[in-house]
Chains A and B, each alone.
Chain A
Amino acid sequence: MEVLKIATAGSVDDGKSTLIGRLLYDTKSMTDDKLEAIERTSKQKGYDYLDFSLATDGLVAEREQGITIDVAHIYFSTPSKSYIIADTPGHVEYTRNMVTGASTSQASIILIDARKGVIEQTHRHFFINNLLRIKDVIVAINKMDLVDFSEETYNTIKADFQELMKKRDYQDQNITFIPVSALKGDNVVNRSGNTPWYNGQTLLEHLEELDQKDIYNTGTPRFPVQYVIRPKTEDFHDFRGFAGKVYGGELNVGDEVVVLPSMTKSRIKDIYFYNKQYKTAPRRSSVTITLEDEVNVSRGDMLVKVGDLPTIDKQLTATVSWMDSASFTPGGKYVLQHGVNKVLAKVDAIEHKIHPDYSGIEENVSSLQMNDIAKVRLRLNKPIFYDKFKEHRTNGSFIIIDSRTNNTAGVGFIE
């Protein structure tokens, strides 16, 4: 079954939790025991409607604070697709969580409260969706019931958002506007009789129609080797399989490949998935590849097609989103993990900080704090084999690990 991961963004109280609860409820994905719990709690709180937001608000600590503080995953499915929603909070200080949720998503929903319209937060949400190059973005204009389902309000908000879209760097993004009421259910799963002026799809209809080509940017195939399989059994005495996941494009038996960094050429002999052989290893499949020649390959090496080399370099410029409480400073030393490959990295310079609300850049910054986004230059102890993030979402990104704490301290998008 097809799986679609969706990130959500909205400010506190825009109705994100309610929208997710509504999706679960109207797709009949909410189980009776969960629904009962919601009915019970809604009654206890004295509400005269069902508080669907209770379907997502997880941890005890959060319930005390009354907000969602991290990335939570919610699951629901229709007969044609499995959906995973990465619910990320709307607070300014949680840029980090939004970036995290967006990194694994193929689509995203930006929520706007129809009474408030496009606000500074919306700029940030859109900025991050753009930075992460999410292909399909849905702008859900929520709480339409509170503005009498006014077409004019909807159009004003849409026009404001289109103004914001002029600032975007990633032009290829598909953006859809939908007027909804999460609380009442208008245009979420079912078409609303309250918006006769709206001819578009409901939120779910839109998601159901998204197809692989709408959500993945195609690129060139990259095969980072995760693990070398050498069974050393009688039946497979000479078997040397390179296990990994294919990114960007597909690989085929017979393809001429180059092994990086040794630059050795060979040809793909067999493609295995478990105990069967296939002609093609599609994008995002976890396969095992054998080569025609005996080539020395180890974890962190990469197979690419001849004539299709990535950049091989020890220096790079990247946009970094910093996620750690310890600051990022020039001269600082880190471990850089690029796919499954780890190298040491030194910060050469912070070129400038980027305000994630499109309000410009800031030069002469001495360090980065949690939730900062900046353009930086890094020097590595060994070359890595990368593409620009623009051209390859997987091979153009890396994480930064603080070797003192082992924490994942930041993520980078290579220029």
Chain B
Amino acid sequence: MNGVDRPSANALEHEAIYIMREVAAQFEKPVLLFSGGKDSITLVRLAQKAFWPAKIPFPLMHIDTGHNFPETIEFRDRLVEELGVELIVRNVQDSIDEGKVVEETGKYASRNMLQTTTLLDAIEEFKFDACIGGARRDEEKARAKERIFSVRDDFGQWDEKNQRPELFDMLNGQIEMGQNVRVFPISNWTELDVWSYIQKENIEIPSIYFAHKRKTFLRDGLIWSAEDEVVFRAEDEKVEERMVRFRTVGDMSCTAAVESHADTIDKVVAEIRNSRISERGARIDDKRSEAAMEKRKQQGYF
């Protein structure tokens, strides 16, 4: 006993733990999709909590775009080592080399779309029946309708008109052969909820989430890293050093930085609290088209 009578009353945390346990109980081969970003790091902590003192009863899988911030990869490997869980890595580069997908070119080229093929192939290869992901409904309008258990067909497709109703706490994970379920335990969390949780739990996250000096350039009013080769930069786009941090850590080539002096978790939380720009505002591929996310989801993207 530790002086406190009852566990903290964070309803979102209790809900997410409940969902993790439903996944472990209802599916034969679940996997946790791990990108190295703050949302998937949060998922890992929730999974630890759900099954303690046992180990997390499913592997982690990283669909590697090859365009990661080096900090995220180091972080990933250290975390997996500490947890003692299995890590599966599948590379978008392999899908390109095998001719399954074609690399995009030009100013806005990114590998975000290409991830879909690599993910679906990996699901097929390992016969995963449930993939736990860190998507949140507040991220984008098209996600607002996503279920907690979202059934995908053999082609990884999402049919937004034909989703199962979810009533009370009851989650229906019954599926047919070939189908699989995407599970979103932090569906109901907002960006601020995630950051506050990281703060309260004292969870370690990759350094690029904190303000640091970086060589950058401006395009379309957004700040881009000039330190990494994969980010396309035109000759006339001037490089300057700025204090920046990243709000998401997806494919480097399409993740913009924000100007910030928040170099500690407390400062980051305070900044998010006052922020007036949604985190996807800094992701170029969502800006390409308002319907971008919805189209990608129909193709099996997370």
What is the chain A residue whose CB lies nearest that of B289?
Answer: A60
Task: Offer 11 A-B interface pairs, CB within 8 angstroms, sorted by A.
Answer: A58-B141, A58-B145, A75-B190, A82-B193, A99-B167, A227-B25, A229-B52, A244-B21, A280-B6, A340-B22, A397-B170
The smallest C-beta distance from B223 to any residue of chain A, in angstroms, reads: 15
**Given A244, A282, A339, which contacts B170 in the complex, CB threshold below 8 Å?**
A339
Residues of A at the B interface (CB closer than 8 Å) are 1-3, 31-34, 37, 56-61, 69-75, 77, 82, 84, 96-97, 99-100, 103-104, 226-227, 229-233, 235-236, 239, 241, 243-245, 250, 272-282, 284-288, 299, 323, 335, 337, 339-340, 393-394, 397-399, 401, 403, 406-408, 411
In contact, B52 and A286 (Cβ under 8 angstroms): no
Q: Does B86 contact A (CB under 8 A)?
A: no
Give the one of B12, B13, B160 with max A CB within 10 A.
B160
A70: which B residues are within 8 A, CB to CB? 145, 160-161, 163
B91: which A residues are within 8 A, CB to CB? none
In contact, A286 and B50 (Cβ under 8 angstroms): yes
**Given A75, A77, A227, A408, which contacts B24 in the complex, CB threshold below 8 Å?**
A227
Contact segment of B100-108, B126-134, B235-243, B273-281: B273-281
A-B contact count (CB 8 A): 188
In contact, B21 and A243 (Cβ under 8 angstroms): yes
Q: Does B4 contact A (CB under 8 A)?
A: yes
Interface of B is mostly: loop
A394: which B residues are within 8 A, CB to CB? 168-169
The smallest C-beta distance from B202 to any residue of chain A, in angstroms, reads: 13
B52: which A residues are within 8 A, CB to CB? 229, 272, 274-275, 288
| Contact flag A72-B144 (CB < 8 Å), given A60-B291, A100-B167, A235-B53 | yes
CA distance A99 to B275 in the complex (A): 35
Interface size class of B (residues with CB under 8 A): 35 or more
Q: A235-B53, A285-B6 are in contact. List 4 more A-B contacts (CB 8 A).
A: A100-B166, A229-B52, A403-B174, A408-B165
Give the one of B54, B163, B193 with max A CB within 10 A.
B54
In contact, A3 and B176 (Cβ under 8 angstroms): no
B21: which A residues are within 8 A, CB to CB? 226-227, 243-244, 286
CA distance A287 to B291 in the complex (A): 40
A406: which B residues are within 8 A, CB to CB? 172, 174-176
In contact, A286 and B176 (Cβ under 8 angstroms): no
In contact, A340 and B14 (Cβ under 8 angstroms): no
In contact, A61 and B161 (Cβ under 8 angstroms): yes
The smallest C-beta distance from B211 to any residue of chain A, in angstroms, reads: 20
CA distance A111 to B281 in the complex (A): 32
In contact, B196 and A1 (Cβ under 8 angstroms): yes
The smallest C-beta distance from A397 to any residue of chain B, in angstroms, reads: 6
In contact, B18 and A226 (Cβ under 8 angstroms): yes
CA distance A232 to B161 in the complex (A): 44
CA distance A374 to B54 in the complex (A): 45
B166: which A residues are within 8 A, CB to CB? 100, 104, 408
CA distance A225 to B278 in the complex (A): 39
| Contact flag A236-B53 (CB < 8 Å), given A226-B18, A273-B7, A408-B172 | yes
**Given A245, A276, A279, A288, which contacts B169 in the complex, CB threshold below 8 Å?**
A245
What is the chain A residue whose CB lies nearest that of B137?
Answer: A73
In contact, B142 and A59 (Cβ under 8 angstroms): yes
| Contact flag A274-B48 (CB < 8 Å), given A77-B192, A285-B7 | yes
CA distance A57 to B166 in the complex (A): 20
**Given A69, A73, A103, A408, which contacts B188 in the complex, CB threshold below 8 Å?**
A73
What is the chain A residue whose CB lies nearest that of B174?
Answer: A406
Give the one of B21, B22, B281, B290 with max A CB within 10 A.
B21
